[in-house]
Structure 1
Amino acid sequence: MSFFPKISFQYEVEEYLTKVFRNKELITALGTQEAENKYQSLLSHLSHPPGFTTVRVNTHLASVKHVKKLLFEEIQKQFKGLCVPVLEHPKLQDILLIPVIGPRRDLKRHASEVIVGAQCGYAVLRGAHVYVPGIVSTSRFVKAGDLVSVYSDIEGKCKRGAKEFDGVKVFLGNGISELSRSEIFCSTGPLRGLGIRMIEPVYLSPSFDNVLPSHLFLQNLPSVVVSHVLNPQPGEKILDMCAAPGGKTTHVATLMHDQ
């Protein structure tokens, strides 16, 4: 059963996916019901975070085994002793995998609420804390140190600075507010920095803010696979026509030993 609402797309994207999963050839091969099941399964998976967090090791500076040990120790500190393994990818020698725990359905929801934008919400589901620019609204009397429940405004309809919001929102977990409502919304200039420190996320995934920055690069698996498929060699000239922000260019340089 899906924990989050079904993902919604722009019209063009939904039209494309419908053509792919409901075309005559696929329906003939699988049957109408099986083709529809595959489409609905895709929508469900896209509305949830991946099962693993993937990080690429900078093999110029340290071995994968050494970084794996350091990362395990860092995660132990974050999760206060909860044993979450760090796994080596079976095919990609420079990739480490951290299982994502969730969804945790039994978390208590608190009266004080913080609403964040959809992009911020995606980051929280991947292990990030909430930074001030991502906060859209808070309950009326939120103070620094308060325990708050964090929600994502997935439709983008919450007004900035609102004191309550009854629209469609997705529960992301609980955290501790680092600032008061007045500091967030009544500042003389745009605020930066940490807004909500997440302590009970629905999906438990480590935060990589300043975690082994010289040894690790947080990178989605498809972006890693691309460079390995290319198999660049030292001395070759590579033109990356889709550079930023996925990490492919620096990965290519690493595989070429910076030559």
Structure 2
Amino acid sequence: MDSSASASASPTAAAAADADRYTYSPRLRWQPEVEEYFAAAYGRDRFARISEALAHPSCYSCIRVNTLKSSTDAVMHKLMNLVDQNGLCGGINGLEIGQQNGGEQAHEGNSVVHKCPYSGLDNVLFVQGSGPHALHYDSQPDQSIKEVIVSRKCAESVLRGAQVYIPGVLACSSHVEKGDKVAVSVAIEQPAEDGGWTVGITRGTVLQGLQSDAHHEERKGLYIGQGITAMSRSGIFRVPHGVAVEMTERVYKLPSFNVCYVPIHATNFERCEISSLAITFIADFFRRSIHYK
């Protein structure tokens, strides 16, 4: 009776451990003296909220319009038209976009693309995303989840809507073929003996799905999504560039402006009309100011 009870409890414990592992719950690590200084300045609770916010990406992307070449309204309309032309009128990378009834008011009321509401920033557009989302990393019975480990810089881009490109891949499970579904985790730099920081993973490392894998414990709670491999494991580490994993499920859903980049030239939508298609200090500053003010 005892053996059967322990056997039934074992899968439950394993499932709970997997549920805790395959999440995105990063923690910001401060130098002790810096942490004490800010905790004293802001208070423990408020500084804890600030640290948590800094460990997650903004849910906004920012477009700064070059008003010497075009108006903010014109860029907003062209951007929405490009979304429609690419068959993404129902959403960008899974994000819902409100129905357009034509005219400026329809765009301003849009749930995804809208103007910056602050005076003096009339040339700024915000594109809103969503997250964090809880994902389910399913595996086959008696098989570990196939996985790809990426660098921190690669992960930051993926969290902003990019795909996983080959230079950012550090390690991959064995027997991964083109079209396989893989989980994507992040290798964070760890303190080195010389006082610096290092990733500690040799590019091309093979993952076996065991606790002896590289950074097994360190990657707990650092899974940013899952996707479909664009090539086999051998191909990923043989060619110098290209897409390694096409993301299908993301912890943070934000639009990647790559879907609009090619049609920009096809419609004579000059590159100079948009001087920045990336997250900026403005979006993060206002997000944190509103949240903690």
Query: TM-score normalized by structure 1?
Result: 0.71
Residue 217 of structure 2: aligned partner: 167
Residue 277 of structure 2: aligned partner: 218
Residue 29 of structure 2: aligned partner: 8
CA distance in 2, matches of 1:98, 1:218: 10
Identity %: 28
Please point out which of 81, 105, 121 is paired with 2:134.
Answer: 105
CA shift at 1:167, angstroms? Answer: 3.4
DSSP 3-state at the match of 2:134: coil
Please point out which of 44, 56, 61 is paired with 2:69.
Answer: 61
Contact 1:5 1:47 in 2 (8 A): yes
DSSP 3-state at the match of 2:225: strand
**CA distances 1:4-60 after superposition (whole Å, capped 9, x unpaired):** 121124x3xx5334313325xx6xxxxxxxx00011111100110013111212323
Question: Are residues 37 and 225 of structure 1, via their aligned partners in 2, closer, same or farther at CA, if it must alter by over 3 Å?
Answer: closer
Residue 125 of structure 1: aligned partner: 159
Structure 1: runs of 5+ lacking an equivalent = 27-34, 227-259
Residue 201 of structure 1: aligned partner: 250
State the AA in 2 paired with 1:90: P
Question: Are residues 196 and 106 of structure 1, via their aligned partners in 2, closer, same or farther at CA, if it must alter by over 3 Å?
Answer: closer
CA distance in 1, matches of 2:171, 2:223: 14
State the AA in 2 paired with 1:57: V
DSSP 3-state at the match of 1:22: helix
CA shift at 1:129, angstroms? Answer: 0.9
State the AA in 1 paired with 2:27: K
More moved, 71-80 vs 53-62: 71-80
CA shift at 1:147, angstroms? Answer: 1.7
Of structures 1 and 2, the one with the larger relative CO (CA 8 A, separation 6+) is 2
Please point out which of 220, 229, 232 is paired with 1:180.
Answer: 232
Question: Are residues 193 and 61 of structure 1, via their aligned partners in 2, closer, same or farther at CA, if it must alter by over 3 Å?
Answer: farther
Contact 1:157 1:167 in 2 (8 A): no
State the AA in 2 paired with 1:218: L
**CA distances 1:198-229 after superposition (whole Å, capped 9, x unpaired):** 12111000112363461331244436999xxx
Contact 1:143 1:179 in 2 (8 A): yes
Contact 1:150 1:171 in 2 (8 A): yes
State the AA in 2 paired with 1:158: I
CA distance in 2, matches of 1:161, 1:221: 33
State the AA in 1 paired with 2:68: H
Backbone CA RMSD of aligned residues: 2.7
Contact 1:158 1:167 in 2 (8 A): no
Residue 4 of structure 2: aligned partner: none
- The number of aligned residues is 209
State the AA in 2 paired with 1:95: V
Residue 82 of structure 1: aligned partner: 96
DSSP 3-state at the match of 2:179: coil
Contact 2:94 2:253 in 1 (8 A): no
